Amino acid sequence: MISSADAKKFEEKLLKAKQKVEEEIKGLKKPVDFGDDTDHGEEEADEDEESENNFSAAETLEIYLSDINSALEKIKSGAYGICENCNEPIEPEVLKAAPESRLCKNCKGFA
């Protein structure tokens, strides 16, 4: 089980990551506009491609944000640091590398 002092450190790290990710998502969801020349087909295609890339990146970040929020909820409930698969403690080195981790090394397949 994680000590309350360690849980507080992880909570601070997660809150910082959450803020950063939310800002990144907000930036990615802004419309892309390379200029005022709307009759130039190549520019429109570039804008569409960039928008699609941004949407994909935002989706990935939203999954990460969901994992962060889940970890923050687990800290509040006292269930933080427990593997969702085997209910064993998640190794400290895993949590230090990725504090939003839901699984231990064995369940992730890194053992």
pLDDT beyond 80 at 42: no
Rounded mean pLDDT of the chain?
86
Cα–Cα distance between 18 and 102 in angstroms, integer? Answer: 16
pLDDT value for 107? 95
Per-residue pLDDT, 43: 52
Which of the four pLDDT bands, split at 50, 70 and 90, describes residue 94? very high
Tell me: the pLDDT tens digits for 47-73? 556 667 777 888 999 999 999 999 999
Measure the CA–CA gap between 37 and 103, rounded to whole angstroms: 50
DSSP-based three-state secondary structure for 89:
strand
Question: Span 88-109, mean pLDDT?
Answer: 95
The strand pairing partners of 89, in sequence order, are: 82
User: Bridge-partner residues for 82, per DSSP?
Assistant: 89
